[in-house]
Every structure is written in C-alpha cells, then in structure tokens.
Chains A and B, each alone.
Chain A
Amino acid sequence: MKGFKHIARTVALLALLKGASLAAQEDELAALTNRLPADSVTVIGTADAPATLEAMRPWVAALLPGPPGEEGAKLSFADMLSDLAAGFSGPLVVGITPDRTWRLIARTERTQPELFQILRKLPLPAREDEGLVAMGPQDPFGFVGVHDGLLIGAADRGALNSLRAAPIEGQKTLLDDGDASLLLGSDEARQATLFFFSPRGALEEPAAGKEDLHPLAFASLQRRMERALKQLLQADATALCCLDVTPDGIRLTATLRLPGREGERPAASGRLKLPETWPVTLTGWGADFASVVDWIEAGMRAFDPDVGAEFREEMAELNRDLGYDFQRDLLGNLGPEWALGLLPAEAGGNVEWVLACGVRDRDGFIRCAEGLARLAKEPWGEKEPAGGARRFSTRAFTVPLEIAVGHDRFLMAPSAAALQRGLDTVERMEPAHQEAAPLWETQGVARFGGIAELMPDGEDFAVLRNPLSKLPADAQVVLHVWRLPQTQMFELSVEGITPAALGTAAPTPLRARR
C-alpha cells in the first residue's frame, strides 16, 4: 500500500503545484532564486539554510568524524557546519551558469566583519580584499560579501556584482519558465533539506573545445555516451531533486517534467508480490518489454545514427535467423507485471534468484524461448509439469536456467530448488486501483541484513559484510519509480539508519579516526 500512498501524494501535489507556484513567487526563496541568472543550468538551494546545516550535522559527525585528539576537535566538520550556520538566517540558493560560474545568494543578519570572522574559523584561507572577503589561497576560488541584508558570493567579482540588484521588471528570470516555477515553487522544494533544480536543456553538451580533438582524450566518446544516457533516462527534462535528511534516515526524490505521453494504460492486472523476508526484491507493473528494443535503439542513435542503424540491421538478422520477431513475439508477449528477487541465504549455498513475469500467450512464449535456445546452441528440455505449469530447463551465458510457464506468467531461476521456492511464495496481489494507477511503476527494497548474509565468508567481502551486518535489523533502501502522463517520479529512501547506527557500522579504519 505504500506505493499508493506515494502516488496519491504526488497527484495531490501536482494538483496544488500551480497554486503553490504562484505563492512561491512571493516568498523569499523565489525572490532570491529570481536574482540568479535566467540561464542557470543548476540551482541548489534551501528555504532554511541554518536548519539544513543543522540537519546534516549528525550525519557529517558520523560519516566524517575527523582525526582523533585535540587537533581533531579543531577539524571537526560537524562543528564547522554549526559555525557556518551562524552566517545565515533564511533561504540560500546557489546557481551555476553554463560557463561553470557559481553564484550564491542567501539571507543573513550578519555584517561583513562578522561574516569574515565566521569564515576565518573554517580551514579556508580567507582575507579581506577590496571590500569583499576573498576565499582561497593567492588565486581565490570565490568572493563573498554582505549587501543589503544578503550574503552574496560568486566565483569572480563580476558575477558577484550581478547579484547586488533585484531583477528589473520585464527582465527574464528563472521562474518565468512554467515548469521551473511549478517545481521550484512546490512545497517539496521549500520543505526539502536541500533541493537541486535543473531546467530543461540544462544538460546540453557544451561546444567541443580544441583539447577534445584527440579521441584518445576520450572526450568525444564521453560526450556521446552522455548524450545517449540522457536520451535513455530522459535526463534533459526539467528536473527537481530533493534531499530530505532527518535523524531517522535520508530520502531522495526526483521529479522530472516530461512532454505528455500518449498511450494506453495497461489493462487491470494483479501485481506480483515477493516475500518481505527476501533480501532484495524488485517488482514492476505496466512494463512494456517490447519497447526495450526501441529504447536501446534510441540510445544508440543518440550516440551515433550509424550505430543505431547497425543495431536495427542486427536485429533484423536475428529475426530472420529466429524465424520470428524477437521484439514483437517474445518481448511483446511479456508483462505487464514482473518481479525479481534474491532469495535469503542458505548455508554454503550460492546466491539464488527468481524472476517472475506475466505472459500473455503461454504456448507462443514457449515456442519463442525454445527457438532462442536453439539459435544460441543451448540445451532445451521439458521436465515433468508441476502445479499446472509446464517446466523446462535450459542455459544462458553458462548459467543454468529452470523455467516454469503457467497460463498467465512464467518463473525462472538458476536451480530447481529456487524455482520451487518461487512457485511456492510469489503471490499475485489484487488488481491495482485504476484511478491512481501510473503508466508504469517499479518498487524495490534492499534489506542490508539479508544482503550481508548473502555475502560469502572470507576477507574479500569482510569490508562490506561487517558494516552491513552491524546496521539495525530493519535498515533498508527503498526504491520507488513511477510514471504519470507528464511526470516521472523517482524516490530513494534509506530507512532505519540513524547517524548513531551509521557510526557503529562504519568500517574500523574510519571509526578509529575518532
């Protein structure tokens, strides 16, 4: 039910976004944001900087304890956050423009000499320089100053001066963009410990420089891979990412505004549910497996149109050799529900998994799977049916596979025992509530205790296994991704871990530094 709660909240949030954005125009966070250049590609901010620094303090103390002894006390990062918090008294925003220049603007009640005193407490060389505070050694990496109740800072003096005046009426600002206004003005952004905002087009690649000429610098390759990744992840949408840090855990949410997607909603169908005792579970709904081929091709075309065309050629050859259409007849036959889970550890056993997936045409699926095994020159044998499902064994990439195909779904596992556990435990839930149903949805849980038990004995894994096993029993990471017609939502929470628990679980060398 947890997923539905999130969805309901998102829908309600989106319904209120418009009103919230108008209100946001008037609040101080919006006022400061509007002072940043309209072409900022990233905005990082908080509605309450002292509270943000204070919320981070216990986590920083646990993760970065600093060296032991008196010297360590001077270098306590947590104390530095407290010192720094004294410099702010309200919202703070940082904008980064395409030329990689940063600008910071925040509300403060301090005077410039007081600010200078605060900065001098930090392990940063800071000196007064023509009415400003220059930070860094001889060649400062930034300047800060106090102006009209605002703390302003920037990478250079010119950028800093641009922050002194409020935007003139009619001048384009960041919040003029509808999506930006919607996301930056939302309650989510205002309540977040820290938000990161990226407007549409912000990730456009910069023009190639002369230093990129030599491909062995891998710059072109990297740029093209970024382009492909952006295409695949729709990373170039207007995006808001919120980080919520509380004493009980950390939550990261991302909202991407996308062009409206026309498409049929998946037919009502029960979801698959894996046991909560399994260390890692991932379940999905509304999956269109056939579109994976188009998705890969789009990424390859974004990388290089010739590579995309070659992929299509290869797929056509594969279809000729298979005698059926891999995308339509095999992938198109799967879903819309699916689940993948790692089974709990058994003494001395291998890590085992179970994949379950809906099947629309059982016989068609079996024919296609057998054809695939034949083309890959892998064995394909039918075994005794069990529980109304036909059972097969085959192999893929040296991994033995046991398959059970029922009338509406199939299960796959690397051993007969794992397959049986899947057959015994994978449940079908009631059909989703249609009004709130997203176009698709994926939920996953990784339970640290169970993962620690899966790790083999021995020194190689001890560095990871030992800290994980020391975390509280209910410590877990929860992933939730879902798609609404014009919005892509992403949520990642670390639950059941407190700063104190993190300190206890920290690897010995880190703890010893206390």
Chain B
Amino acid sequence: MTVRGQVYHAMPNEVARGLGIPREDIPDQENAAWLYLQAVNALPVEPEGRAFEQQYSAALKDPWGPAQDEEFYAWFQKTEEARELFRKAAAMPRCQFPVLTAKAGQTFLAALMMPQLSAMRQLARLMAIEGRLLEQQGKVREALELYLAAFRMGGHLGREPILITGLVGIACQGIGCKAIRDCLARHDMQKDVLAWLAGELGALEGKLPDGSAWIAGERAMAVQIAGMAPDEALAAIEAPGPTAGPLRSFMKSRAFHILWPDRTIRRDFDRFYNAVERLAQLPPWECAAAIRRQPEEKFVAEHVKDWNVLPWMLVPAFERAEVRYIQNAADFSALRLGVALRLYRADHAAYPDTLDALAPDYLAVLPPDPFSGQGFHYRREADGWVLWSVGPDQDDDAGREGEARRGEDGDLVYRPRLTEGTQ
C-alpha cells in the first residue's frame, strides 16, 4: 500500500501473531484504520514558508479566519476531504492499523514503519482548528463533535501494541481534551449541549489509551533482537555490517550462537517485561506509587543482569510513559467533572460546595484521581472553582501547579479558564 507517496507492505496477521504481536482479524469495512490511512493520503502537503508556519501555529492558539490568514485558509480548504475521512474513521468503533514494513516479507520488528503517525497528529490539530472556526460561527456543538473526533482517534491509536503509537494517541487526546476544556470556558452552553457532551464523554470512558497495550509489541521486538547475532540485526535493518566474509559468516553460524548467550538475554527480557506488565496492570495509583518507590534504573537493575546492556538500550522509558498514561486519565476525568460542574450550575445557578453534590445526578459515580485512588480535590472559588489531582508525586500540594506535568513536584490543576496559549 502507498502512504504519503511511499510504498509499504502490510505484514499478514498470522505472521505478526507468530512474532508475538497481538492481532485481531477485523473485516476491512469495520476497521477504521483504512479510512484513517485514506485521510492521511488525502492530506495535502503543507506549503513551505515562514508566513504559513506562523499562521498555522497562530490558528492553534488564537481565533483565526479566512480574512487574516489567507494562505493558511487556502491550504485548510484543501484538507476538506482528509478531515471528512478522518471524522468518519473516528466514529467507527473498531480500529487496528496494519503492521507495515518497507520491504515485502520483512519480519524484523524493529524496522516496522508507522508513516501515518505524524499525519494523524496533524489531522487531530486540524480538527481543533476547524472547531475554532465553527465556534466563531456559533456552531458550538459541531465544534465539540470535532474535538471529540480527535479524542476518539487518540483512543484508537492508544491501543496499538507499539509505545510510540500509544504516546501519539495520548497527544491527540490531549489536543481534543484541551479544545473541549477551552470551548467550555469560552461559551455559556445550553444545558442540552452540556448533557449531550457529558453523555459522549461517558461513552469514551473505556476508550482511553491502554497503558499495557504496548508491552506485547515491544516485548516481541526485544525478544526478536535478543535472538539475533549482531550481524543479523544489522543486516535486518540494512545497515552496513562491521564485518565481511568469513567473520560475518561465523557470526551467523551455530558456532557463534553457542558462544552468544541469547537464551540468557531473552530470559532477562522476559523477566523485565513480566515485571512491567505486572506494574501496568496495577490500579494507576499503585502503579504510580511503585514507580516512585523504585526509579526506572533500579527497576531495570532488579530484573536485568548488570552486564546485559541490550535491555537498557532497547527498552523504552516505560516509567515516564506510564505516568503519561495516568496523566491522560486524570485529564479526562477532570474534564468529565468539569462538564458535570457546568451542568450543576445550569440547574442551581452556582457551583456546588463539594464534588459529592454531583453524584449520582450529574455523574453516576465520581471518578477517582488516578494518582491517588481517592477523590479529586475541589475548592469553590469566587470566580468559579479549582479541581486538582495530586499528580505523579502523589502528594497534595493544595492545588499548586508546580512541575507536575513534567512528573515532578506539584499538582495537576484544572480551572474553568482558557488553558495556556488560548485567548
């Protein structure tokens, strides 16, 4: 298949499964991935130039329009087909991207291609930009639908078995989440729109990127590399080998495999990924606590032999990734609470004194703070309210923002105001 002008080859599901990558057999017409790939292909190439870049980044932050951003608007209009395909894809419940390789029959997992990722993120941004246009035209609900589409697409990506895909999924959900939060701050919405939005968000609860989905794919990749002679690995990625002739032949031979401790290395990988899997399956607040108790270096050192540098080079920065997954869940829960608070105000002309007032009328169950397992912290303020999660340090800082978004001290703070960079 061709993605953005390059030819790729889809690995058959049975081959991918044989290599340890979980794959379902989804009929093409039920699989949103094909529509997403069509959308990616329909996306026109961005014009080059500083003026265009400035208009593009301004459109992500500020109100924009055809008059003042002519060059950007002209290009934006050309993305109509891509956006339409994207919307359709995001509305589909099932999605599984094909496992793509650059060469037919290639099975080296570390050389898998994900040519769609950057375009998918760009499409999520276009949803946010289009939404802003609709908001300016007073079409708030239509705008929210686009933001929700970006959010849903993030969920689709976030279930792929490769960590980078999951992280891009989280980034796309972040785009959707921020756009919805800002939309709520900008508009005094009707109760029916708020109720509809609350319902839509409720339905998305199980669609967040899964913090353990990536482990199988990364494990398969690591185990495959661990079983290869260094020369085979280089040949697989078509990097020029450091050796030639007899030495290369020796490295591919059984004699080399007798000397190369691949079984021990594989056992190390298994021990490590089993431990990561156990960590990812814990309730998020216990996972966060475990990460705090045992920094990544110590965690790897406990499960991997001190001489085995391969896992250290191959395993992703899983702790930071896990914190990003939990943070994404916190952002989503805070958004749901924010919508519920707006609904409450629509009925009572004021915000409640405590969050308990929201359940069960505005939320069936109050979502817990994923970093603590307890409720979110809430304080009613003169001009609205403030809601906070204790954040990755799992310590209540009384709503002080700090560096929580970088995984350090402070809380994750939510206010019914425009988020940074938004007028």
Which positions in A face B, CB cutoff 8 Å? Answer: 213-216, 218, 220-221, 224, 296, 300, 303-304, 306-307, 310-311, 313-315, 318, 375-376, 396-399
Count A/B pairs, Cβ under 8 Å: 61
Do B307 and A216 touch across chains, with their CB atoms under 8 A apart?
no
Contact of B259 among A215, A218, A296, A396 (CB under 8 A): A296
A413 to B90, CA, bound (A): 68
Given A213-B301, A397-B249, A398-B249 in contact, is the A310-B309 Cβ separation under 8 Å?
A: no
Cβ of B94 within 8 Å of any chain A Cβ, yes or no, is no
Which interface residue of B245, B253, B307 has the most chain A CB atoms within 10 A? B307
In the assembled complex, 28 residue pairs joining A and B whose CB atoms fall closer than 8 Å, in A order, are: A213-B297, A213-B298, A215-B306, A215-B307, A215-B308, A215-B312, A216-B309, A221-B306, A221-B309, A224-B307, A296-B259, A303-B307, A304-B264, A306-B264, A306-B267, A306-B305, A307-B264, A310-B261, A311-B261, A315-B258, A375-B254, A376-B253, A397-B246, A397-B247, A397-B249, A398-B245, A398-B246, A399-B246
Do A397 and B264 touch across chains, with their CB atoms under 8 A apart?
no
Q: Which residues of A contact B267 (CB under 8 A)?
A: 306
Within the complex, what minimum Cβ distance (angstroms) separates A353 from chain B?
A: 12
Given contacts A216-B313, A220-B306, A221-B309, 18 further A-B contacts (CB under 8 A): A213-B297, A213-B298, A214-B297, A214-B312, A215-B301, A215-B312, A218-B309, A221-B306, A221-B307, A224-B306, A296-B259, A303-B307, A304-B305, A307-B264, A314-B258, A318-B254, A397-B246, A397-B253
Q: Which residues of A contact B305 (CB under 8 A)?
A: 304, 306
Do A216 and B250 touch across chains, with their CB atoms under 8 A apart?
no
Cβ of B257 within 8 Å of any chain A Cβ, yes or no, is yes
A220 to B305, CA, bound (A): 9
A5 to B249, CA, bound (A): 43
Within the complex, what minimum Cβ distance (angstroms) separates B419 from chain A?
A: 37
Cβ of B88 within 8 Å of any chain A Cβ, yes or no, is no
A360 to B263, CA, bound (A): 36
Within the complex, what minimum Cβ distance (angstroms) separates B19 from chain A?
A: 23
Within the complex, what minimum Cβ distance (angstroms) separates B125 from chain A?
A: 36
Q: Which residues of A contact B312 (CB under 8 A)?
A: 214-216
A192 to B254, CA, bound (A): 47
Q: Which residues of B contact A303 (CB under 8 A)?
A: 307
Do A311 and B301 touch across chains, with their CB atoms under 8 A apart?
no
Which positions in B face A, CB cutoff 8 Å? Answer: 245-247, 249-250, 253-254, 257-259, 261, 263-264, 267, 297-298, 301, 304-309, 312-313
Q: Which residues of A contact B245 (CB under 8 A)?
A: 398
A215 to B313, CA, bound (A): 10
A233 to B271, CA, bound (A): 33
Cβ-closest chain A residue relative to B305:
A304
Contact of A397 among B250, B307, B309 (CB under 8 A): B250
Q: Which residues of B contact A296 (CB under 8 A)?
A: 259
A397 to B249, CA, bound (A): 5
A509 to B96, CA, bound (A): 64
Interface of B is mostly: helix
A310 to B258, CA, bound (A): 8
Q: Which residues of B contact A310 (CB under 8 A)?
A: 261, 263-264
Contact of B309 among A215, A306, A311, A376 (CB under 8 A): A215
Do A304 and B307 touch across chains, with their CB atoms under 8 A apart?
yes
A307 to B249, CA, bound (A): 23
Q: 4 nearest interchain CB pairs?
A: A220-B306, A397-B249, A314-B258, A397-B246
Q: Which residues of B contact A300 (CB under 8 A)?
A: 261
Which interface residue of B245, B247, B267, B305 has the most chain A CB atoms within 10 A? B305
Cβ-closest chain B residue relative to A305:
B264
A221 to B308, CA, bound (A): 7
Q: Which residues of B contact A224 (CB under 8 A)?
A: 306-307
Q: Which residues of B contact A313 (CB under 8 A)?
A: 263
A307 to B306, CA, bound (A): 13
Cβ-closest chain B residue relative to A296:
B259
A213 to B302, CA, bound (A): 11
Within the complex, what minimum Cβ distance (angstroms) separates A215 from chain B?
A: 5
Given A216-B313, A221-B307 in contact, is the A311-B258 Cβ separation under 8 Å?
A: yes
Within the complex, what minimum Cβ distance (angstroms) separates A216 from chain B?
A: 5
Do A318 and B253 touch across chains, with their CB atoms under 8 A apart?
no
Cβ-closest chain B residue relative to A306:
B264
A399 to B257, CA, bound (A): 19
Do A311 and B297 touch across chains, with their CB atoms under 8 A apart?
no
Do A220 and B297 touch across chains, with their CB atoms under 8 A apart?
no
Q: Which residues of B contact A213 (CB under 8 A)?
A: 297-298, 301
Q: Which residues of B contact A314 (CB under 8 A)?
A: 257-258
A213 to B246, CA, bound (A): 37
Q: Which residues of A contact B307 (CB under 8 A)?
A: 215, 220-221, 224, 303-304
Q: Which residues of A contact B304 (CB under 8 A)?
A: 215
Cβ-closest chain B residue relative to A395:
B249
Do A376 and B246 touch across chains, with their CB atoms under 8 A apart?
no
Do B254 and A311 touch across chains, with their CB atoms under 8 A apart?
no
Within the complex, what minimum Cβ distance (angstroms) separates A507 from chain B?
A: 26
Cβ-closest chain B residue relative to A218:
B309
Q: Which residues of A contact B297 (CB under 8 A)?
A: 213-214
Within the complex, what minimum Cβ distance (angstroms) separates A185 from chain B?
A: 40
Within the complex, what minimum Cβ distance (angstroms) separates B27 from chain A?
A: 43
Do A318 and B308 touch across chains, with their CB atoms under 8 A apart?
no
Do A376 and B263 touch across chains, with their CB atoms under 8 A apart?
no
Q: Which residues of A contact B254 (CB under 8 A)?
A: 318, 375-376
Within the complex, what minimum Cβ distance (angstroms) separates A321 from chain B?
A: 9
A398 to B249, CA, bound (A): 7
Which interface residue of B257, B258, B301 has the most chain A CB atoms within 10 A? B258
A507 to B249, CA, bound (A): 35
Within the complex, what minimum Cβ distance (angstroms) separates B122 from chain A?
A: 34
Q: Which residues of B contact A398 (CB under 8 A)?
A: 245-246, 249
Within the complex, what minimum Cβ distance (angstroms) separates B266 from chain A?
A: 10
Which interface residue of B246, B298, B304, B309 has the most chain A CB atoms within 10 A? B309
A310 to B308, CA, bound (A): 15
A215 to B259, CA, bound (A): 21
Q: Which residues of B contact A307 (CB under 8 A)?
A: 261, 264
A269 to B127, CA, bound (A): 87
Do A311 and B308 touch across chains, with their CB atoms under 8 A apart?
no
A318 to B257, CA, bound (A): 11
Which interface residue of B301, B305, B306 has the most chain A CB atoms within 10 A? B306
A220 to B312, CA, bound (A): 13
A396 to B246, CA, bound (A): 8
A216 to B253, CA, bound (A): 28
Q: Which residues of B contact A304 (CB under 8 A)?
A: 261, 264, 305, 307
Q: Which residues of B contact A318 (CB under 8 A)?
A: 254, 258
A214 to B300, CA, bound (A): 9
